[in-house]
Structure 1
C-alpha cells in the first residue's frame, strides 16, 4: 500500500507538469479538500477554479522525499520556475481508499539566483 500511495503522488506531480487536469481530477475524491497559506479548506471545484492554471511557468520540480504512513503522506519538493525563481514546499496528503481526500500545503521560502526573496505581507 505505501508503494501505491507514493506512485499516486508521483503521478500527480507528473500530471501537474503535463497540465493534465483530467488525471488530477480523477485522482481526487469527490469530497476532496485543499488548504494552503492562501486557501482555506477549498472543495474540489474551488480548488480547480482558484489553484489550477497553466503549468508553463514551471521548468521542473524535484521530489526530495515522500514519507507514507498508512493513509497519510508527506511530500517535500523543490520547484524551479522558468524565470529562475525557486521554492521548496511540503504537502500533507490524506487518502480515502484509492483517492486523495485532502492536501495541505506548507510554503517554503522563495529564492532567485541563490538569494532569498522576501514575500509581500
Structure 2
C-alpha cells in the first residue's frame, strides 16, 4: 500500500513539472545547438541571472555578454535530478565540454506566471573550472 501511494505521489509530481522541465530542456538545448534565439525565447523580459562568478541578478543583456560565449565549449547536457516546488525548479546538471571535461552545477530556475524563466541562480559544483571562465 505504501509503495502504491509513493508511486501515485511521484507520478503526480512528475505530471505537474512537465511544462517547466520542457522549458529548461529547451533552454539548455539552445546552448547545445549554439542557438541564442532558442535560449532567449525561454527568458522573461525581466530575467536575471546570479552565480558565484560575480553575477548578482544581472539582466539578460549582461547574461548574454558574460555567459553566452560558454556555449562553444558545451557538447552535451545531462539532467541528473530535477525537483520542483511552486514556481521553482531545481536542477542538478552535468555538462560535458567539447574536450570531455565534466562540470556539475545546481541551477535554481524561477518561473513567471506566463511560464518563462524569470531568474536562474547557479551554484558551481565539483568538476572542471567552468569553460570560458577567465576570472
User: Same fold, TM exceeding 0.5?
Assistant: yes
RMSD after superposition: 2.0
Cα distance change of structure 1 residues 54 and 74 upon mapping to structure 2, 3 Å threshold: closer
| Aligned position for 1:53 | 69
SS of the equivalent of 1:109 reads strand
SS of the equivalent of 2:125 reads coil
Q: CA deviation at 1:56?
A: 3.0
Tell me whether 1:37 sits opposite 2:46 in the alignment.
no
- Unaligned 5+ residue runs, structure 1? 112-120
Question: Which structure has more strand as a fraction of its residues?
Answer: 1
Q: CA deviation at 1:84?
A: 2.8
Which runs of structure 1 show a deviation greater than 3 angstroms over 4 or more consecutive aligned residues?
none
Question: Which structure has more helix as a fraction of its residues?
Answer: 2
Q: CA deviation at 1:54?
A: 5.6
Alpha-carbon distance between aligned partners in 1 of 2:38 and 2:97, rounded to the nearest angstrom: 22
| Aligned position for 2:35 | 20
TM-score relative to the length of structure 1: 0.85
TM-score relative to the length of structure 2: 0.77
Match 2:125 to one of 88, 104, 108: 108
Alpha-carbon distance between aligned partners in 1 of 2:70 and 2:51, rounded to the nearest angstrom: 19
- Larger Rg belongs to: 2
Q: CA deviation at 1:29?
A: 0.7
Tell me whether 1:76 sits opposite 2:92 in the alignment.
yes
- Unaligned 5+ residue runs, structure 2? 1-15, 129-134
Alpha-carbon distance between aligned partners in 2 of 1:108 and 1:64, rounded to the nearest angstrom: 13
Task: Kindly tell me the number of residue pairs found equivalent between the two proteins.
Answer: 114
